[in-house]
């Protein structure tokens, strides 16, 4: 019949069909665009604002001012000169020192080496353009009106810088050892912590996966506990354990816990569960048949370990390493609490912004911090992809056989790690209950009187719960529906790819950087969204954005497991997609949805880095209160609040478990035959 | 069969092209489907049959060309604005809804009273023979049962067109054969125009009123099952449907025969000029056995075309229950083996056995000649 | 489903809108760094005289409030600043962010506590004086003698036993550094800090932390401020509050009206009240030195000789050289990668 052997349609084939979009298509695309706009507003634009801030410089423009100097009698005989001319003549201020920050001041006396405030010489100063600003004392003068000063007043005259754009901030950064030393420190700490955490976590996961030791479930629970507390809590615990008044001070043999040792130990604590869970998954998917083969080849255990176990888990190990690296290098709370004088990048951002109000330099450090974070993220994504491929091609599950000696040593090892985790949490709880460490060890609840401390009091705790609930609810709605659109929208490939990119981006952005970016973007009066600055809304938006990626991936994975033919079937039955979504997709994905909720809740309770720049006095948060109470020296109340967060998260997890079970029983009856 | 000849056109597909990037999955497809007809799209994987089905459903709208359903141009409409029910190989039953809720999914939310919905669901369950299963979840049913529920759901809203995308492929052989008949019966009862995609030629032959054989994005042949089986228009069709013997020959006798080496055979009429390389095709069951004469003296073994007989040796015999598959070789026909299916009766009567010699007749009207070279790739 | 979805989104928006309480008549948004526990007391005392004006506090540490105000330079959210370091107010003044206004009764205040401009842009409340907290229990354990002067702190016996705030993040830290530079002169001041640096165990981010750490015995000597020390001592910490004999730096908490406020009349009412005798008596509950002469009564645990040891602080010097001083400080002391043992 058809004789069309031609590879392409000829002219007779008629015009291209432009598919008419159904109402579903319009709604889905429209909604996806709304979410994309949300991500652009909540992520891309703030990052852009931050990047441009990093290039916003201040410098003294010497050509802006003109000075005329009188003789001893007060008569102005010399012609007026610009400061630039004076400086060119005498180079009093080297060119490089003209770069400054927005609050820079330059005293005019510097241009007159023989200046004396007792001299009868007078000075006339005039700005040469409308932007010329100078201060007499702290009185501000602007514009081109001339002024005359006697010597005693002239010593109080300083000029202010003008705004400019350029790389000067980066030049300043890299010429200030105090600042760029942090790069080396951060990378060093991150590498050391990564090596230790991954080794420890591997041992733990190996014991859980490959031994027949008892109490596996308990160990697993304990190992996951650090996820439930803010990263700065181990810092506080270490102060009590190894500080100058600590129980175990002698273990450090004179070394101080304040500094790299403390940061590393604390980092190991809070990153341990992340690494452990990744490695556990990697180990549990490796193929038992390889082990059988190794046994039949009479390979020694040691050899089997290196030729089968390690290569099988390699993607898990690499992925865990980069995740830990990223967590450590971007963490702010821990080095802030226990870092002492050891500067780290994330703390530098805080110091620049909060301490010195040098937003530009804060932005520069943020850019610097972005680089390792982005690199680690990219490597992790690449490796994860391979791991997934391995997962889908998996085969026989390994079943460990009992071996008394091996199982006992595994038990001992896990008990040791569990002891470490429990003692960190236990010491915090104990310290929180002690009246006045170390002089009055009677127990009491005085440290729970948060309203008498800095940080926001009990209101901060209530705010945190409210914020975490809102984040869990709103975040889950946004993230799950967003993932649904990406996964189930037909056509619109570019839109979907763009959205997917935006959804994957937050994971690469350190919390400090995101928080700072939010200041620049939302605290701009020209921004119509300026009104959310200082509200709970910005905290919720920031937290949802910060933890978007993992939740998005969870949702996408769950959605991928749903038959892709559901949508065509529903369409053929003339049902709008949202009916299918609510009747089928959501119930089927309910376990994943609950997981996303608890993930968001727990992280919203513990996060510090992003929100530390964004809370207001009405929206203080428990995690930030821990930081601020520690900052103010109220370490015991900080520990008390940290433990409140822990218990809240434990309770939330229990509620999650109960609700999950209930929901599974009710809506997922179909899962059991 | 063949009832469609006088019926009106229900679905008209004209010059449909579908591009995926630079690759054309459908090339200038034109096809008419009559009202009430059961049409199968048959072809190897990647031939474009599913693409065509999805274009008809509006799931992946064609790049060019038009589709009219019941006189209405639906070329650009989204699925939700078309009138069809669909069943997929995966069944696509909603796992968290009971069987009844699955079937009622399209009925609810469309202004039908609840009691009417219940009645309709019961009726549909009755129709597919699963009246007891209403409150079960899909996972509690067997594959065949699930597919029947999917079918019930697809016809619940009495669509004008029923689309079946490899509906039986995921089932095991026995259930598959059984369901063939059920689906066909149901379709006949409802009179709904139906298009089924399948790569299983037996299924297509058994179920379809007409078969559309596709390959490489084009339609090779459209016809009734007997048409495409007995009168394939291309080597591909002949090869894809049923078993064939393919003999490399040269056209001969001015379109009425072929030659293999020195041997000449009469063939069905063809258009190839003498001397051209061609492939001659004969189905195993079309080969007529004759005894060697010595062993079956009294048999009514009339040779109708003495010029088209070949002396062969029996190399191998395979008993397939209702017939013997026999592999023969003949010096006359070159090195190739010829497969022939002989009835049990004939084998016994003529005492055909491995190693024996026998004469076969190749009826000239069953020996189809196609251009050589176009390697069929099944 | 859509309803639920829209509901969720609306809830999110509503959170934003509700918390955006627009400035209304009879309400003042007041930025402050006053200790959280004192805010209610301040507001109650003010409302006793002016019940019709409601105060909405926005409280944070000095650095954060200052950063916030600077960030809001072009879109001020505050009406009044009540209780922020004078050095910070000078910074704001030089940005033209403060409304010049002479509160009624300003002439009663010690002139040291009033901005030199006429009309003044800010008025002081109370002084916030540097001191050293010394843990007697730990001092004894370690065999340390109590230091008497700043110079004492550079003695080798105190190595690793002194902790002070980082001037880059703490207002207290900065007032220490600027007072040393004023007292000892620029050259000797830096030389002193070079020596002191050798003994410092850590530079903390906050100004009160060194005293709290001394109180907890973590580090025996904390350079902090007297008010904090008195509080810790009252809480039972075994510390002495030492006023170094060379003199001590100080800053004051001060009050100002933010230029461009929509509530100028209420703002003036508040600022008028903040300079009254009554207000100063209230400040005295925490601070030994207040702006209104003759009001101050001794505060429990406060060192007695504190007032006479307060240096003649040149706030202008401090404000105008702030960046240069901090840059220099950072260059000298903040680049160490090793922790101090």
Q: How does pLDDT run across A290-336, given as a tens digit for each residue?
A: 777 787 888 888 888 888 888 878 888 988 999 999 999 999 999 98
Q: Are residues A215 and A101 part of one domain? A: no
The tally of domains found in chain A comes to 3
The answer for A 27-56 residues in CB contact with C (under 8 A) is none
- Contact (CB<8Å) C16/A532: yes
Q: What's this model's pTM, rounded to 2 decimal places? A: 0.85
- A403 and A265 inside one domain: yes
Flag whether residue A619 sits within 8 Å of chain C, measured between CB atoms.
Answer: yes
Tell me whether residue A10 is in a domain.
no
Distance separating alpha carbons of residues A526 and A621, to the nearest angstrom: 28
Write the residue in A569, A583, A670 that is nearest to B86 by C-beta: A569
Are A67 and A125 within 8 A, CB to CB? yes
> What pLDDT, on the 0 to 100 scale, is given for residue B373?
63
Residue A110 has pLDDT above 60, yes or no: yes
Judge whether residue A437 has pLDDT over 90: no
Domains and CATH numbers, chain B: 3-239 (3.40.50.300), 281-371 (2.40.50.100)
**Do A584 and B96 lie within an 8 Å CB cutoff?**
yes
Token duo for residue B356: 């024996």
Question: Hey, are the CB atoms on A17 and B109 less than 8 Å from each other?
Answer: no
Query: Which one, of A337, A298, A249, lies nearest residue A633 by Cα?
Result: A337
Partners for C (CB, 8 Å, 3+ pairs)? A
Secondary structure (DSSP) of A553-604: HHHHHHHHTS-TTHHHHHHHTT--HHHHIIIIIHHHTHHHHHHHHHHHHHHH
Q: What is the mean pLDDT of residues C264-276?
A: 94
What is the tens place of the pLDDT at every residue in A272-291? 999 999 899 888 877 677 77
A392 and A318 share one domain:
yes
Give the residue from A138, A163, A188 where a domain finishes: A163
Whether chain C lies against chain A with 3 or more Cβ pairs closer than 8 A is: yes
- Tell whether A501 and A430 lie within a shared domain: no
> Is A635 part of a structural domain of the chain?
yes
Q: What is the model's pLDDT at position A388? A: 63
At B325 the three-state DSSP class reads: strand
- Indicate if A612 and A489 belong to the same structural domain: yes
CB contact under 8 A, B86 and A1: no
Distance between CA atoms of residues C199 and C163, nearest Å? 8
Residues 69-128 of B with CB under 8 A from A: 75-82, 84-86, 88, 90, 92, 94-97, 105-106, 109-110
Q: pLDDT grade, residue A438 (50/70/90)?
A: confident
CB distance from A470 to chain C under 8 Å? yes
pLDDT, position A374: 86
| Nearest residue of chain B to residue A582 (CA atoms) | B96
Task: Check residue C23 and give its pLDDT.
Answer: 40
**Which chain B residues are Cβ-neighbours of A20 within 8 angstroms?**
76-78, 81
pLDDT tier for residue A472 given thresholds of 50, 70 and 90: very high
pLDDT confidence of residue A252: 81
Write out the two tokens for A577.
Answer: 């997609």
Pairing of strands B38-42, B210-215: parallel
Question: How far A32 CA lies from chain B's nearest CA (Å)?
Answer: 19
Over residues A47-74, mean pLDDT: 91
Alpha-carbon distance of C151 to C159, in angstroms, equals 13
Domain with A245 in it: 176-435
Is A5 domain-assigned?
A: no
Interface touch A245/C201, C-beta < 8 Å:
no
DSSP B205-216: HHH-SEEEEEET
Interface of B with A in 220-249 (CB under 8 A): 220-222
A-chain residues near C168 (CB < 8 A): 351, 355-356
Nearest to C101 by CA among C121, C117, C85, C82: C121
Q: Find out whether A619 and C19 touch, Cβ atoms under 8 Å.
A: yes
- Is the residue at A108 inside a domain? yes
Contact status of A139 with chain C (Cβ, < 8 Å): yes
Instruction: Indicate whether A338 and A476 sit together in one domain.
Output: no
User: Do chains A and B touch by CB distance (3+ pairs < 8 Å)?
Assistant: yes
Q: For residue B313, give the 3-state DSSP assignment.
A: strand
Greater confidence (B170 vs A149) lies with: A149
Decide if pLDDT at C6 tops 50.
no
Residues of B in contact with A576 (CB under 8 A): 80
What are the residue ranges of helices labelled H in chain C? Answer: 2-19, 36-49, 62-71, 86-94, 136-142, 171-199, 209-215, 226-234, 264-274, 277-283, 306-309, 315-320, 322-333
Residues 89-118 (A) with a CB less than 8 A from some CB of C: 100-101, 103-105, 107
Q: Are A473 and A616 in the same domain?
A: yes
Flag whether residue B219 sits within 8 Å of chain A, measured between CB atoms.
yes
**Nearest by Cα to B358 from B349, B368, B366, B371:** B349
Average pLDDT over residues A42-64: 92
Query: Cβ separation of A135 and C94 shorter than 8 Å?
Result: yes
Distinct helix (H) and strand (E) counts, chain B = 9, 20
Say which of A176, A541, A617 has its CB closest to residue C57.
Answer: A617
Q: Do the strands C27-32 and C80-85 form a parallel or antiparallel pair, or are they unpaired?
A: parallel
- In the numeric block, the tokens 């604005």 are attached to B81
Q: Examine the pLDDT at A10 and tell me if it is beyond 80.
A: no
Q: Measure the CA–CA gap between B237 and B229, rounded to whole angstroms.
A: 8
Q: Which two tokens stand for residue A377?
A: 């993220």
Give the chain A residue nearest C205 (alpha carbons).
A631
**Chain A residue at shortest CA distance from C60:** A617
Residues with Cβ < 8 Å from B300, sequence gap 6 or more?
A: none
- Over residues B179-213, the pLDDT tens digits come to 999 999 999 999 999 999 999 999 999 999 999 99
Same domain, A26 and A105: no
Is residue C1 predicted with pLDDT exceeding 60?
no
Q: Is residue B243 scored above 60 in pLDDT?
A: yes
Contact A618 C19 (CB under 8 A): yes
A11 in a structural domain? no
Cβ(A470)–Cβ(C12) below 8 Å:
yes
Identify whether residues A281 and A375 lie together within a single domain: yes
CB contact under 8 A, B85 and A573: yes
CATH number, domain containing residue A299: 1.10.3720.10
The CA R_g of chain C, rounded to the nearest whole Å, is 22
Give contacts of A635 with chain C, Cβ < 8 Å: 212, 216
- Among A101, A134, A163, the domain-final residue is A163
Query: Higher-confidence residue: A548 or C22?
Result: A548
Q: Say if residue A438 is preceded by a cis peptide, omega within 30 of 0.
A: yes
Domains of chain C: 26-127+251-303 (3.40.190.10), 129-250+314-333 (3.40.190.10)
Is the separation of the CB atoms in A340 and A262 below 8 Å? yes
Within 8 A of A530 by CB-CB distance, chain C residues are: 75
Mean pLDDT of A42-55: 92
- State mean pLDDT over A418-424: 95
Of A134, A125, A149, residue with least CA distance to A60: A134
C65-82 average pLDDT score: 85
pLDDT at position A669: 60
Closest to A572 (Cβ–Cβ): which among B30, B79, B138?
B79
Q: Establish if A528 touches chain C: CB-CB under 8 angstroms.
A: no
d(CA A625, CA A461): 8
Residue C151: φ, ψ to 5°: -60, -35
A38 → chain C, closest CA residue: C9
Residues 474-533 (A) with a CB less than 8 A from some CB of B: 490
**Chain A CB within 8 Å of residue C60 CB:** yes
Residue range B104-153, pLDDT digits in tens: 999 988 788 999 999 999 999 999 999 999 999 998 899 999 999 999 99
- The side-by-side arrangement of strands in the sheet containing B288-290 is B288-290, B357-361, B309-319, B323-329, B337-343
8 Å CB contact of B97 and A584 = yes
CB contact under 8 A, B15 and A563: no
Q: Is A235 on the interface with C (CB under 8 A)?
A: no
Task: Sort strands A147-150 and A122-127 into parallel, antiparallel or unpaired.
Answer: antiparallel
Is B76 in Cβ contact with A20 (below 8 Å)?
Answer: yes
Which helix (H) or strand (E) element contains residue A66? strand A65-69
Per-residue pLDDT at C303: 82
Highest mean pLDDT among A381-395, A466-480, C238-252, C318-332: A466-480
In a domain, A169, yes or no: no
Residue ranges of the alpha helices (H) in A454-562?
457-488, 493-504, 511-522, 536-546, 548-560
Chain A residues with CB under 8 Å of B103 CB are none
Q: Is it the case that residue A392 has pLDDT exceeding 70?
A: no
Of C71, C96, C213, Cβ closest to residue A140: C96
From chain C residues 197-226, the ones with a CB under 8 A of any chain A CB are 201-206, 208-213, 215-219
Angle at CA of residue B233, ends B230 and B235, nearest 5°: 95
pLDDT for the residue numbered B219:
95
* Alpha-carbon separation of residue C164 from A333, A345, A371, A508, C199 (angstroms): 20, 22, 33, 36, 10
A68 and A45 within one domain: no
Nearest to A563 among B57, B66, B90 (CB): B90
> Which of C64, C97, C161, C314 has the most A C-beta neighbours within 10 Å, making it the best mutation to test the interface with A?
C64
Q: Is the pLDDT of residue B9 over 50?
A: yes
Residue A9, pLDDT score: 65
Q: Nearest 5°: CA angle at C60, between A240 and C178?
A: 85
Handedness of CA C267, C272, C278, C279 (dihedral sign): positive
C236·A439 Cβ contact <8 A: yes
Q: Do A14 and B81 touch (CB under 8 A)?
A: no
Asked whether residue A440 is domain-assigned, the answer is no
Residue C134: the pLDDT is 95
Q: Is A11 touching B (CB cutoff 8 A)?
A: no
A225 and A79 fall within a common domain: no
Question: What pLDDT was estimated at residue B311?
Answer: 87
Q: C2 CB near a chain A CB, below 8 Å?
A: yes
**Structure-block tokens of residue C305:** 């000789």
Q: What is the mean pLDDT of residues A512-531?
A: 88
Q: How many CB atoms lie within 10 A of CB A497?
A: 11
- The β-bridge relationship of strands C54-59 and C27-32 is parallel
What sign results for the dihedral spanned by CA atoms B241, B245, B251, B253?
negative
Orientation angle between helical segments A233-242 and A622-631, nearest 10 degrees: 40
Whether the CB of A665 is below 8 Å from some CB of chain B: the reply is: no
Same domain, A225 and A287: yes
Q: Would A66 be classed as within a structural domain?
A: yes
Whether chain B lies against chain C with 3 or more Cβ pairs closer than 8 A is no
Give residue A397's pLDDT.
67
- What is the predicted ipTM? 0.84
Chain A nearest CA to B265, separation (Å): 28
């Amino acid at each position: 019949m058809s004789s069309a052997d031609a590879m392409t349609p000829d002219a007779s084939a008629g015009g291209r069909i432009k598919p008419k979009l159904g109402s579903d298509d319009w709604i889905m695309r429209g909604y996806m665009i709304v979410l994309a706009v949300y991500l652009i507003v909540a992520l891309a634009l703030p990052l852009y604002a931050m990047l441009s801030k990093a290039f916003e410089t201040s410098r003294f423009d010497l050509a802006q001012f003109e000075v005329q100097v009188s003789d001893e009698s007060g008569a102005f005989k010399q012609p007026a000169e610009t400061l630039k001319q004076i400086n060119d003549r005498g180079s009093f201020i080297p060119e490089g020192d003209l770069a400054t920050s927005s609050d820079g001041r330059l005293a005019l006396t510097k241009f007159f080496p023989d200046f004396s405030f007792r001299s009868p010489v007078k000075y006339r100063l005039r700005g040469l353009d409308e932007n010329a600003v100078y201060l007499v004392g702290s009185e501000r003068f602007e514009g081109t009106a001339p002024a005359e000063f006697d010597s005693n007043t002239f010593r109080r005259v300083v000029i202010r810088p003008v705004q400019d754009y350029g790389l000067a901030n980066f030049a300043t950064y890299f010429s200030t050892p105090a600042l760029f030393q942090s790069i080396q420190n951060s990378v060093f700490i991150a590498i050391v912590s990564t090596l230790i955490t991954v080794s420890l976590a591997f041992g733990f996961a190996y014991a859980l996966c490959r031994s027949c030791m008892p109490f596996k479930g308990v160990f697993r629970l304990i190992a996951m506990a650090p996820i439930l507390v803010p990263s700065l809590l181990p810092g506080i615990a270490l102060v009590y354990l190894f500080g100058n008044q600590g129980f175990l001070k002698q273990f450090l043999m004179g070394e101080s816990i304040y500094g790299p040792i403390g940061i590393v130990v604390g980092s190991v604590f809070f990153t341990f569960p992340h690494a452990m869970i990744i490695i556990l998954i990697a180990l549990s998917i490796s193929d038992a048949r390889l082990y059988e083969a190794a046994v039949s080849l009479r390979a020694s255990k040691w050899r089997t370990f290196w030729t089968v176990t390690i290569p099988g888990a390699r993607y898990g190990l690499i992925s865990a390493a980069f995740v830990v690296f990223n967590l450590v290098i971007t963490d702010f709370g821990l080095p802030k609490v226990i870092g002492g004088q050891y500067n780290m990048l994330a703390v530098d951002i805080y110091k620049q912004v909060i301490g010195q109000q040098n937003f530009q330099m804060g932005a520069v450090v943020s850019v610097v911090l972005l680089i390792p974070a982005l690199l680690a993220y990219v490597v992790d994504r690449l490796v994860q992809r391979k791991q997934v491929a391995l997962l889908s091609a998996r085969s026989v599950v390994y079943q460990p056989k009992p071996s008394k000696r091996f199982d006992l040593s595994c038990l001992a090892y896990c008990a040791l790690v569990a002891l470490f985790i429990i003692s960190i949490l236990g010491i915090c709880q104990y310290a929180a209950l002690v009246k006045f460490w170390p002089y009055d060890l009677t127990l009491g609840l005085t440290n729970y009187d948060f309203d008498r401390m800095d940080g926001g009091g009990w209101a901060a705790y209530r705010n945190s719960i409210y914020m975490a609930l809102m984040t869990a609810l709103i975040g889950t709605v946004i993230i799950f529906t967003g993932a649904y659109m990406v996964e189930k929208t037909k056509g619109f490939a570019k839109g979907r790819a763009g959205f997917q990119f935006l959804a994957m981006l937050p994971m690469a952005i350190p919390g400090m950087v995101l928080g700072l970016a939010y200041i620049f973007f939302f605290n701009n009066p020209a921004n119509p969204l300026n009104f959310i600055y200082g509200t709970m809304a910005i905290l919720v938006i920031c937290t949802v954005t910060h933890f978007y990626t993992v939740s998005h991936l969870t949702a996408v994975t769950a959605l991928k497991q749903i038959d892709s033919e559901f949508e065509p079937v529903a369409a053929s039955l003339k049902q709008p997609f949202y009916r299918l979504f609510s009747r089928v997709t959501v119930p089927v994905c309910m376990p994943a949805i609950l997981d996303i909720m608890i993930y968001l809740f727990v992280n919203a309770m513990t996060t510090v880095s992003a929100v530390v720049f964004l809370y207001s006095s009405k929206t203080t948060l428990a995690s930030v209160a821990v930081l601020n109470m520690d900052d103010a020296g109220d370490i015991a109340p900080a520990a008390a609040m940290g433990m409140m967060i822990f218990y809240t998260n434990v309770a939330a997890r229990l509620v999650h478990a109960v609700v999950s079970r209930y929901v599974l029983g009710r809506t997922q009856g179909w899962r059991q035959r | 069969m063949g009832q469609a000849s006088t019926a009106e056109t229900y679905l008209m597909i004209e010059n449909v092209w579908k591009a995926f990037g630079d690759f054309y999955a459908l090339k200038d497809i034109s096809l008419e489907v009559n009202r009430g007809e059961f049409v199968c799209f048959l072809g190897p994987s990647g031939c474009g049959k599913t693409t065509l089905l999805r274009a008809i459903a509006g799931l992946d709208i064609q790049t060019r060309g038009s589709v009219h359903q019941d006189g209405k141009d639906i070329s650009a409409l989204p699925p939700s604005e078309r009138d069809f029910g669909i069943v997929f190989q995966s069944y696509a039953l909603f796992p968290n809804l009971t069987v009844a809720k699955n079937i009622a999914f399209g009925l609810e939310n469309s202004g039908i009273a609840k009691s009417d919905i219940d009645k309709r669901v019961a009726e549909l369950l009755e129709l597919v023979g699963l009246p007891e299963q209403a409150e079960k979840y899909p996972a509690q049913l067997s594959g065949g049962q699930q597919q029947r529920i999917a079918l019930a759901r697809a016809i619940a809203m009495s669509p004008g067109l029923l689309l079946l995308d490899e509906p039986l492929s995921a089932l095991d052989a026995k259930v598959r054969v059984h369901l063939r008949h059920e689906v066909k019966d149901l379709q006949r009862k409802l009179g709904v125009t139906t298009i089924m995609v399948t790569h299983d030629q037996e299924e297509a032959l058994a179920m379809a009123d007409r078969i559309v054989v596709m390959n490489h994005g084009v339609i090779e042949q459209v016809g009734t099952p007997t048409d495409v089986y007995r009168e394939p228009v291309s080597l591909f069709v002949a090869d894809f449907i049923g078993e064939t013997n393919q003999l490399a020959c040269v056209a001969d006798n001015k379109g009425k025969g072929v030659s293999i080496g020195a041997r000449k055979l009469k063939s069905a009429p063809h258009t190839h000029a003498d001397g051209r390389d061609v492939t001659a095709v004969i189905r195993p069951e079309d080969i007529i056995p004759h005894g060697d004469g010595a062993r079956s003296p009294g048999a009514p073994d009339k040779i109708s075309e003495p010029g088209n007989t070949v002396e062969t040796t029996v190399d191998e015999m395979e008993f397939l229950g209702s017939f013997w598959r026999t592999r023969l070789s003949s010096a006359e026909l070159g090195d190739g083996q010829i497969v022939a299916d002989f009835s049990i009766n004939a084998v016994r009567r003529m005492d055909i056995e491995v190693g024996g010699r026998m004469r076969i007749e190749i009826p000239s009207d069953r020996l189809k000649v196609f251009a050589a070279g176009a390697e069929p790739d099944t | 489903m859509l309803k639920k979805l829209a509901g969720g989104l609306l809830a999110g928006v509503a959170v934003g809108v509700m918390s955006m309480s627009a400035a209304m008549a009879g309400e003042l948004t007041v930025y402050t760094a006053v200790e959280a526990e004192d805010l209610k007391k301040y507001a109650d005392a003010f409302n006793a005289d002016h019940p019709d004006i409601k105060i909405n506090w926005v409280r944070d540490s000095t650095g954060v409030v200052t950063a916030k105000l600077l960030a809001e330079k072009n879109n001020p959210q505050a009406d009044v600043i009540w209780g922020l370091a004078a050095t910070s107010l000078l910074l704001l003044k030089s940005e033209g962010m403060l409304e010049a206004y002479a509160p009624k009764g300003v002439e009663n205040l010690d002139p040291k506590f009033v901005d030199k401009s006429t009309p003044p842009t800010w008025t002081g409340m109370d002084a916030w004086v540097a001191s050293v907290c010394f843990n007697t229990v730990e001092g004894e354990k370690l065999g340390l003698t109590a230091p008497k002067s700043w110079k004492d702190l550079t003695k080798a016996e105190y190595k690793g036993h002194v902790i002070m705030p980082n001037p880059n993040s703490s207002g207290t830290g900065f007032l220490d550094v600027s007072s040393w530079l004023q007292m000892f002169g620029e050259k000797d001041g830096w030389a002193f800090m070079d020596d002191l640096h050798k003994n410092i165990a850590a530079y903390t981010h906050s100004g009160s932390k060194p005293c709290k750490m001394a109180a907890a015995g973590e580090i025996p000597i904390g350079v902090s401020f007297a008010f904090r020390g008195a509080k810790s001592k009252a809480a039972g910490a075994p510390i002495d509050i030492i006023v170094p004999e060379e003199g001590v730096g100080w800053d004051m908490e001060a009050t100002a009206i933010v230029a461009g406020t929509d509530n100028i009349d209420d703002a003036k009412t508040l600022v008028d009240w903040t300079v009254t005798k009554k207000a100063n008596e209230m400040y005295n509950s925490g601070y030994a030195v207040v702006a209104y002469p003759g009001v101050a009564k001794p505060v429990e645990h406060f060192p007695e000789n504190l007032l006479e040891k307060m240096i003649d602080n040149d706030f202008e010097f401090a404000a105008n050289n702030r960046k240069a001083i901090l840059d220099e400080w950072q260059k000298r002391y903040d680049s160490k990668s090793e922790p101090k043992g």
